[in-house]
Amino acid sequence: MAQFTSQTDDSVIAFSAVSESGQRATLAIRKGSPFEPQISAIAIAGGIVANEAEAVRADLKPEALTRTIRDSLAKHMPTPYITARDAIVAAKRTNDQRVTDLEKPPTDPIIATETRTLFRGLSVPDQHHWARAAGLESLRAIIVPGRAHWPDLTDDLWQALTDRMHRLAFVEISGISGRFPKQATIDQPCPVGVDLDAVEKFADEAMENLRASQSAVEGAESALSRTIAVVAVAGDMTPAEAFALLNRAA
């Protein structure tokens, strides 16, 4: 018969189940995650299951207690699980669409082929210099074919190329350049044009927000996977049975 523990502190919310044989499973979410409310609701439901089990633990034989725990899991866990699942799926789709929008193919395939040929012929230092100065279409020509197309590039260079392409694509899609005109200075009291440093900073922040959202989705999806494990341990079930139980209301 499973035993249950809960943890809530300044940094994490967690709920664990431990089987009679010592098998343990824990679901957890860091405080401040955008999915904290959904995962917390799952942990709260787990706490209700734990309370119901403790109320009858002394009065029931092991087989009857296991059945009671399973019934309690089926009653309380699917709704918050499905709510969290749907929120994570929606966020993942949004993030995937944002990346798709940033990674459109180059408009001229002939020029893109020429760009790849030119880039391939550069020395490694010149490739790094090129990555810092290339325009959006040139970067698309390199990135869109995929990482496998460039086995000789280091991960650092590939990331630098990808990050710059994403920043420039974001600037193009969002049209933010007009929001950052050059500011007057003592030396140039009548400026004309765009403050490129400000545009770049804004784009960097937008890309950092995207990466943070992707990381949050990964953490929340991991918490759902751990929820399946917790239910399996708590109800003395296989993971497949736990998965079916949690999705029963779908």
> Rounded to the nearest 5°, which phi and psi values hold at 4?
-125, 145
What pLDDT was estimated at residue 249? 57
What pLDDT was estimated at residue 123? 95
* Mean pLDDT, residues 184-191 taken together: 85
* pLDDT > 60? residue 13: yes
111, 141, 157, 175 from 125: Cα distances, Å: 23, 19, 10, 32
> What are 192-207's pLDDT values in tens digits?
888 888 998 999 999 9
> What are 50-95's pLDDT values in tens digits?
999 999 888 888 889 999 999 999 999 999 999 999 999 999 999 9
* Mean pLDDT, residues 136-152 taken together: 95
Q: How confident is the model at residue 250 (pLDDT cuts 50, 70, 90)?
A: very low
Got the DSSP string for 121-158? Answer: TS-HHHHHHHHHH--HHHHHHHHTT-GGG-TTS-HHHH
Structure tokens at 173: 């899609």
Q: Coil, helix or strand for 247? A: coil
Q: Coil, helix or strand for 48? A: helix
Neighbours of 213 (CB within 10 A): 16
Q: How confident is the model at residue 184 (pLDDT cuts 50, 70, 90)?
A: confident
> What are 114-135's pLDDT values in tens digits?
999 999 999 999 999 999 999 9
pTM score, whole prediction: 0.84
Does the CA dihedral 56-60-65-67 come out positive or negative? negative
> What are 95-112's pLDDT values in tens digits?
999 999 999 999 999 999
Q: Which residue would you say has higher pLDDT here, 189 or 15?
A: 15
Burial readout 71-99 (b: 16 or more C-beta within 10 A, e: otherwise): ebbbebbbebbbebbebbeebbeebeebe
**DSSP designation for 237:** -
* pLDDT > 60? residue 226: yes
Q: Which residue would you say has higher pLDDT here, 59 or 237?
A: 237
Q: Return the percentage of the chain with pLDDT > 70, whole number.
A: 99
Alpha helices, DSSP H, located in the chain: 36-56, 62-76, 78-102, 109-120, 124-133, 136-143, 155-174, 196-234, 239-246
